[in-house]
Amino acid sequence: MAACVSRVELSVSCRSLLARDLGSRSDPLCVLLQDAGGGRWAELDRTEKIKNCQDPEFCKKLIVDYYFEKVQKLKFGVYDIDNESFDLNDDDYLGGIECTLGQVVSSSVFTKPLELKQGKPAGKGTITVDKISAEEIKDTRVVHLEIEAQNLDKKVIKNNLNPCWRKFSVPLQTFCGGDFNKPIKVHCADHDRDGSHDLIGAAETSLAQMQPAAAGSLVEYECIHPEKKQKKKNYKNSGIIRIKSCKIETEYSFLDYVMGGCQINFTVGVDFTASNGDPKSPDSLHYISPDGINEYLIAIWSVGSVVQDYDTDKLFPAFGFGAQVPPSWQVSHEFALNFNPSNPYCQGIQGIVDAYRQTLPQIRLYGPTNFSPIINHVARFAAHSLQQGAAAQYFILLIITDGEITDLDQTRQAIVNASKLPMSIIIVGVGEADFQAMEFLDGDSGVLKSVTGEPAARDIVQFVPFRQFKNAPQEALSQMVLAEVPKQLVSFYKWQGWPPLKLPEVKALQIQASPGYL
């Protein structure tokens, strides 16, 4: 799993807290705990105590590490503090809530009623948790530089004594450790492939001294060769180095976009081809075991439980492909799991699971394994959202399959087209099939191209074989398959030139697909 790069700063306030002290108001404090597994909770942080207040607005912010790839269960507890002890067991409990960090960061305002225990309200008390900022552990700013030189000594490659180098970028942390006044040495050399570079000269500066170049002014330095300067009395320089442009820009993170209002739309595609085996047989990948699961269901739960926190309406389209569907028993490669083509949405992840279970006995597994129809289907939704100005909507398609792709050329073209849209594709391979074609679609092996040679604009595919996670905790699968989504989402908005707080206004889209559309 990728290392955490963000810490979220949370602000907490409460209203109408219970009064536990006779003759005076409560002295509240809020504690933040995180699920440690096995029914245990570990304290992460706590606020200050506020005296005699039923409507506290705590000043101290609560800090928690943020990971998109997993469900982070949190508990906020409010206590009436009557002593100086750090232990809260002897203090009155005023109520609390349980939620996930994903729910908090993806909500504009997160307010819930306090409960003394599940189902028992703590009077009229409420708690509001607001995300204040995302503190990047590393400095995400980048320095973009354009540099040229004039009248260099006659050593320069390609016989150019007045070179203008290509624009390049360096992370600010690498460039100067974030210190604008830190000395920076600029070396100019005649580069040789064998490594025997000849020094032309050097200059010393700092990022602060380069700043006039950000406004379009040229910043010049004499290029000095130390040995020549020492030996030649009339030596001036070995040329002039010019900083044409020096711009510092922030590289926005996934969390910046989520906190800026970006919503994630989740769609599931399930492979119902005959190679899965008869669902009634224990050998089938669609066979539901006595404990109510199979690899398809585990993949749906694992990925969906994370993504659902970033979708406000919790309505998820779910489709099947490769099956003969009643009443005509024609093969379909994008039928709604709920058999309602005009409204293929399921309520929450449980709704997808229920639709999947109900579908199995009503269809006939067939084939072939075609991906392009369902990819194109979700791509049309993504394209429609862009056309409507709802750019703060990003689409994730989860495809769960057991075998080789039959329409590989069409799938390649569909992915290339989708790479230009706010969309990512996750493919989970179940069973023991050869998934070589899936590895090919995953951009980690190089830039994917269509049959005509058109390259993908971005890497949007992540493939993971389920067999690698059979003996691992369930959350391990979600952490792996979702690891690339934040980078893919950021790459799209960066490509479009949209910073988080300037995304086109989110518009409520009620997209109803007609039977012809499907």
Q: What is the pLDDT of residue 323?
A: 97
Tens of pLDDT, residue by residue over 47-97, are 999 999 999 999 888 989 888 988 999 999 999 998 888 889 889 999 999
Nearest 5°: the CA angle 448, 450, 456 is 45
pLDDT over threshold 50, residue 140: yes
Q: In sequence order, what are the residues at sequence separation of 6 or more whose Cβ sits closer than 8 angstroms to the Cβ of residue 328? A: none
pTM, entire model: 0.75
C-alpha dihedral (97, 101, 107, 108), degrees to nearest 10 = 90
pLDDT over threshold 80, residue 9: yes
Among the listed residues 372, 342, 340, the one whose alpha carbon sits nearest the alpha carbon of residue 358: 340
- The segment with the largest mean pLDDT, out of 252-256, 275-279, 492-496, is 275-279
- Comparison of pLDDT for 320 and 495, the residue scoring more: 320
| The pair of three-digit structure tokens given for residue 113, joined into one six-digit string | 């009623």
Split at pLDDT 50, 70, 90, the class of 514 is very low
How many whole angstroms from its chain centre is CA 229?
Answer: 53
Question: What's the alpha-carbon Rg for the chain, to the nearest Å?
Answer: 29
How large is the average pLDDT for residues 27-44? 92
- The helix/strand/coil state of 447 is coil
**What integer best gives the mean pLDDT of the chain?**
87
Q: What is the pLDDT of residue 444?
A: 58
In angstroms, the CA 499 to CA 403 distance is: 40
| The pair of three-digit structure tokens given for residue 193, joined into one six-digit string | 């492939």
Residue 89 Cα distances to 77, 127, 129, 177, 229, angstroms: 12, 21, 24, 45, 75
Among the listed residues 2, 4, 489, 65, the one whose alpha carbon sits nearest the alpha carbon of residue 257: 489
Task: Give φ, ψ of 133 to 5 degrees.
Answer: -160, 165
Question: Which domains, ranges and CATH numbers included, belong to the chain?
Answer: 6-136 (2.60.40.150), 141-250 (2.60.40.150), 263-502 (3.40.50.410)
Q: What is the pLDDT of residue 111?
A: 95
Q: What is the pLDDT of residue 153?
A: 84
DSSP β-bridge partners for residue 170: 143
Q: Compute how many other C-beta atoms are within 10 angstroms of the C-beta atom of residue 332.
A: 21
Q: What is the pLDDT of residue 391?
A: 53
How large is the average pLDDT for residues 146-167? 81
How large is the average pLDDT for residues 388-400? 84
Tens of pLDDT, residue by residue over 168-181, are 888 887 788 788 99
pLDDT over threshold 60, residue 136: no
Strands 263-271 and 315-321: parallel
- Comparison of pLDDT for 9 and 369, the residue scoring more: 369
Among the listed residues 2, 12, 3, 10, the one whose alpha carbon sits nearest the alpha carbon of residue 64: 10
Nearest 5°: the CA angle 209, 213, 218 is 100
Q: Is the peptide bond before 327 cis (omega within 30 degrees of 0)?
A: yes
Among the listed residues 450, 463, 452, the one whose alpha carbon sits nearest the alpha carbon of residue 418: 450
Split at pLDDT 50, 70, 90, the class of 439 is confident
| The pair of three-digit structure tokens given for residue 400, joined into one six-digit string | 């769960």
Q: What is the pLDDT of residue 390?
A: 53
Which residue's entry shows tokens 């939620």?
Answer: 99
- The region that residue 488 occupies, defined by phi over 0 for left and psi between -120 and 50 for alpha, beta otherwise, is alpha
Tens of pLDDT, residue by residue over 314-365, are 999 999 999 999 999 999 999 999 999 999 999 999 999 999 999 999 999 9
